[in-house]
Every structure is written in C-alpha cells, then in structure tokens.
Amino acid sequence: MESIIGIDVGGTTVKIGKFQNGKCVDTLVLDTDLSDKGNTIIPSIIQATKDFTIGETIVGIGIGLPGPVVNGRLLAAHNLGLVNVDAQKIFETAFPKAIIRITNDANAATLGEQKKGGGMGYRDLVFVTLGTGIGGGVIIQDHLLEGYTGSAGEIGHIRVDFNNKRKCTCGLYDCVEEYASATGIVKTALEKIETLQIKTMLIEERITSKYIFDCAKAGDILALQVVEDMVEKLATALSQIANTINPQAFVIGGGVSKAGAFLLDRLQKRFNELAFFSVRDTAFHLAKLGSDAGMYGCCAMIEEAILSK
C-alpha cells in the first residue's frame, strides 16, 4: 500500500501521520529532540520516519517547520536553534524516491483546515490560530501564500494599539498577540482585576484563557469585559487583513477558539462594524482539526504535488 507522510514539527512535539487514500491511518508523536543545539532534530525525525514506515512505499513526505520557509529552505526556527537549513535537500537525500515538500507550520495547518477542516470549500481564506501566540496562513486562489521571505501570515504581529503598552516577544509594541492570544487574554484579565476592583468570579491564581471564557459565559461582568477587549483587538487585526486581501473566509483555530460560537459570533459582529463596507461579507468558521491540522496540511501538499505532476 502506498503512503503519504505528514510531519508537523513543533517546539515540544513532532507529530508524524501516515496517510493512505487521503485518510490518516496511523500517527506517531515524538518529543522534539532539542539536544546538541538542535543539530539532532532533523536526523531524529528522519530516523523515526524510517522506522515508522519500514517495508512501505512512501510516495511523498510533507513537512511543516516552525519558522519562515522559502523554496524548501528554513530561514530560522529560533525555538529549535536552527538557522538557514536546506530542509528540502536533507529530506530528499534521506528519501530519494519520495516527493518532498516543506512549508511553515502555520501554513501547513492552514492548508489542513482548508482541505479537511473548517475552511473546506473556500479558495481564498485566512487561518488564524489563537494559542500561546497568534499565527496564521493565507490561501489565495487555492494556493498557499508563502511570501517573499516566507513570512506571509505573520498576523500575530499586526499592531492594534498605539500607546506602547505591551512589549511583544518580537521586540515591537502592541502586537495583536499581546491582547488576543491565550497569554494576552490573561494579561488583560490581571490588569482589569487590579484596576477595576469590581466583583468577579475570577480568582487570580487560577486564571487561564479557558477559565476567563467560562466565567464570561456564566455572566461575570469583568470576564465579559476581558472578552470584549480581546474581540476588539482581534476584529481590528482581521479588518486590516480583509481591507488588504478581501478573503472569502476567516477560519479561527488554536486553543482559545475552543470558546466556540461565544467567541466567533462576537468576533464576526465587531468585524462587520470595523471592516471597510465592501469587505464585510467575509464568512467566519471555527477550525475543526485541532492540533492535527498541520499533519493533514503536510499530506495535502503532497497530494497537490502529485496532482500537478
């Protein structure tokens, strides 16, 4: 049986999926091997993939890496300690008979959601992942947009405040991920507890973004204000994106999106107020594949490569 392998490389785990006839038939999850300054990461993934597919025919391997990728070259993945790695060549040498495609991890997840998840049926969409940070990917006319330096979809760093209030890990101020990621929402809640001094169900020591959303759903005034603030900032960023590329749909994923329709409805409503009148007709969907999206997207890259042969 012929298989396609999809490999989603993250800072803590590597997910390897085996796909047959478009279906994921087996998965393997490894801890990311960060020993020896990252030098062992790729060799360890290659070895694990070989062990995982002994005696099988591998048609192609799609790989998602956590950093900007241009033409198969990883420019940098600081959390892995990797800089300027020709991943395309390394995998082609290790698997000479397989088609190899490399992309950024957020791009892979975007493709996964478009092919099998919340973005099915759309040729032009923007995927937004709300996790510890905010990442994203852009699909235009059914093609993943890589960007000139592999950085299309870095939407977490759209600026949504001009008071230099919160410094982002990227060095800039007031990036949307400082306000609308899981970490950002917690920051806002702690700020509001401190400054508003109103009655709230939120207990400082226990605060997570999920807990904030749960309290907001239960009607807690302070938690609702935190959600409103998050929605304001994210809707602002999405309206900037829509004014620029006018996509058909936004697909919202990542841990924070588990707040579901409670978040999505508010987000779409505020987006409709903030976006330019002629781009308001943008659909909003929740992502469906969770942390498997990258793996599915990696498989989809190979399916596309086969089709376009």
Q: Which residues contact a second copy (rule: CB under 8 A)? A: 68, 75-76, 124, 138, 140-141, 143, 145-155, 157-162, 170-172, 236-237, 239-241, 243-248, 274, 276-279, 281-282
Structure tokens at 234: 């994210």
What whole-number distance in Å separates Cα of residue 20 and Cα of residue 76? 32
Cβ closest to a second copy, residue 174 vs residue 292 = 174
**Shortest Å, Cβ 149 to a second copy:** 6
Integer Cα distance of 57 and 135 in angstroms: 34
Compare residues 159 and 258 and give the one whose CB is closer to a second copy.
Answer: 159
Judged by beta carbon, residue 229 or residue 292, the one nearer a second copy is: 229
| Residue 272 dihedral angles phi and psi, to the nearest 5° | -60, -25
- C-beta of 93: minimal distance to a second copy in Å? 27
Nearer to a second copy by Cβ, of 30 and 279: the residue is: 279
Rounded to the nearest whole angstrom, what is the least distance from the CB of residue 27 to a second copy in the complex? 30
SS3 sequence of 63-77 = EEECCCEECCEEEEE
> Rounded to the nearest whole angstrom, what is the least distance from the CB of residue 151 to a second copy in the complex?
4
DSSP summary character for residue 282: -
Give the shortest CB-119-to-a second copy separation in angstroms.
13
What are the backbone angles phi and psi of residue 2, rounded to the nearest 5°?
-80, 140
> For residues 113 and 124, which CB has a smaller minimum distance to a second copy in the complex?
124
> Can you list the pairs that 258-261 forms with residues at least 24 positions away whose Cβ atoms lie under 8 Å?
258/210, 259/209, 259/210, 259/213, 259/217, 260/286, 261/286
